[in-house]
Structure 1
Amino acid sequence: MLKKGAVPALFEWNNYSLPPPRPAVWERRKRPPPEDSEEEDNTTASVDTHKDHDYAASPDPAVVDSVLEENNNLREEVRQLREQVESLTLRQRFGIHRFASSDKDIRFFTRFASYDLLMHFWGMIEPSLPSMVSVRQGQRGTALDSTPSTCTLQPIDEFFMFLNYLALGSKQRDLADRYGVHQSTVSRIITTWSNFLFTVLGSIRIWIPEEHIRKHLPADFKHYPDTTVILDCTELRCQCPSSPLLQSEVFSSYKSHCTLKGLIGIAPHGAVTFISGLYAGSISDKQITRESGLITLLKPGMAVMVDRGFLIDDIVPCKVYRPAFLSGRSQMSAEDVRETQDIARLRVHVERLIRRVKEHKLLDSEIPLGVFGIINQLFTVACLLTNYENGPLVKAWAKKPDI
């Protein structure tokens, strides 16, 4: 009886046989025959060894010295290999130590002229690091907690990251990938360091007394010896807000774009001595001078040097040097032309300083709305850093011993 679906396979013409089954893998593998003599010799030697071994016997001193020397050599080799691995990892990791040997790279990534200059600045702010309050500590209300941070980056690498963000205008996602941290960590580091540097550098008095300015007055200002500060405004392009009311406030007719406007003042020898907060781009130069608090620093014996658009004669208590207007005349006098040229030649230094500030690419690109919470700190820190990053605005002034 055949099962349903079965097909006969054995017939008289095929000898009623099936092919033999294929042997398994273990059966197909050839193995050498056991060597009884070697096994017996090994067994005998093992027995003899166990019989001859004396655990109570003291080792030979020469053997001990040889083993100790070998261990010391291995330890030294391990230490050297570990140092090489750490050095290689340090060179591959993105951080300040990777570019320590190249002043050109330091200039590109931080705007500091050299590594030594950057380290000198780091030595100045490092003692204040214990008083730094991170964003996370501020949110938790644990500003006085001395618990170390769980961030994997060293403080100097966090500082280097902040300088990358300011100098290159790098995106936070790009910095997170470079430094191997989460994007939210990058955001917290940037906010923490912007507030920290704003506090530390802002605590240093930058307004120079009148007598010190006259003592170090460059020879180019001999016709304007009472000049205390050179003023100019700068505008930062920003992302347009969605609200029509806010758009009208930040829209600048001069730039034909939404901007934030700030006032910068420098001493005649080129140091930044005044920085205002940022205002909406529609504000006038006169209004920003009034609201910035600069007027309280000026005295009757001083003088300010401004551009032609600064009509501040009626709000400041001192003299104002400004290029002459035609004032309805068809042609300016020769004296007015010479004065205009002299003032323009001296006032150009504040424009060079503003150019240095905008070499921090974050301020030279369109500022996103998400940065508005710390943009005042970033702008102030960028302006103050120009006093530490570079040499004098005019190289000839540095050659004079009294400058």
Structure 2
Amino acid sequence: MVHTCVVTGCRNRRTPGTTLSFYRFPRDPERKQRWIAAVNREGWVPNDGSRLCSNHFISGKQVKNPRSPDYVPSVFTSAPLSPEMKEPGALEILDKQEARVEAANALLFLQGQGRSVVGERGQGEQSEEREQEAAVEESASSSLSTDEDDDDDDESMSDCKKGKFAHTSDAAVNFDNVLKALKKENQTLRESLDKMSLSENSLRNDAEKVKFYTGLPNYFVLETVMWLLAPHMDGMKTVKLSKFQQLLLTLMRLRLDLRNQDLAYRFGVKVGTVTRTVHQMVTIMSSTLVPTAVFWPSRAELRKNLPAALRSSHPDCAVIIDCFMVPFEEPVSRGNQQQQRMVPSAQGVGTSNNVLKYLIGVAPQGVVTFVSRGVLGNVSDKSLAEGCGFLCKLLPGDVVLAVS
């Protein structure tokens, strides 16, 4: 089909051997209306066969980038073109293309899209040369193209779709990388939090940490103690603390003599919960562990394993005793939140009822063989020894050593 340019005064036609390109009016309503306004034919409406030749574009070819000056035709001559006008030569085409590129750069600069020449003169000259070469190559390729407009539009649409799909796939890959990085960071934060927290996972493979907080040699012993006490802890109703945390809290209170407020901050509970938990756990531990782990050995066993240091001086030594005191805090409900510590006198008598006093017996081999019940601190060592049941364990001839 032979097409004729619709611009008034332009007689260019698509004929065999022509180097011109002819473009149909765009389908986009806004862009199409701008093309109609540029043609400037009063009362005229284009149809499917209306075409616009490439002479009416600065670079000699339409551009689908809205920021380009060739997005809308802008080259219109006042004098009509003669149908007998010969096609320009190759040198004339290059000169015209360079002039058009310079005009396009000037238009872009006026529209605020150009680069600043003051600070980037060298780069500007190089970019202008590259743009000129690109424009010449585009013009040459467009002049050599003799395909129909529909084919050009289809190819451009397919290229656009390919670009969109490529961009979408790149974005998907980027999102996958970001997701993997976030998962890795989350895992690292969880591991660091487990190490900082006082939980079973943080103590399981750290014997030094177990020994520091509980006094037990390793996690296996701690787990064994937990196994012995767990059946007796069913009646303790603590929502925020697990059974393991209740045991750990109590051992830390006894081992490190920490304040109840400090333990409340560490485990995220109230001070009253810490006080109640410690009292209940001490009672359970006394009734469960003492009968299981603390027993009085026979005299034959004592003499068989008696240390060499005591065989010559005290061969009949049965036990070494000592009295110690454990200060405790009053419940918060009483209004006394400040810790009160007992100051022992020279005779070992406490001056405060806020202390529990115990008598402990250790065999010469170092095994604990006796632990008395706690008595309020205002009691002497003699009274405690006579009233705690310790004397009932002794036989005639047994030697008792006391730590001074």
TM category (shorter chain) comes to 0.3 to 0.5
TM-score, normalised with respect to structure 1: 0.45
Q: Which has the higher contact order (CA 8 A, sep 6+)?
A: 1
- Greater Rg by CA: 2
TM-score, normalised with respect to structure 2: 0.45
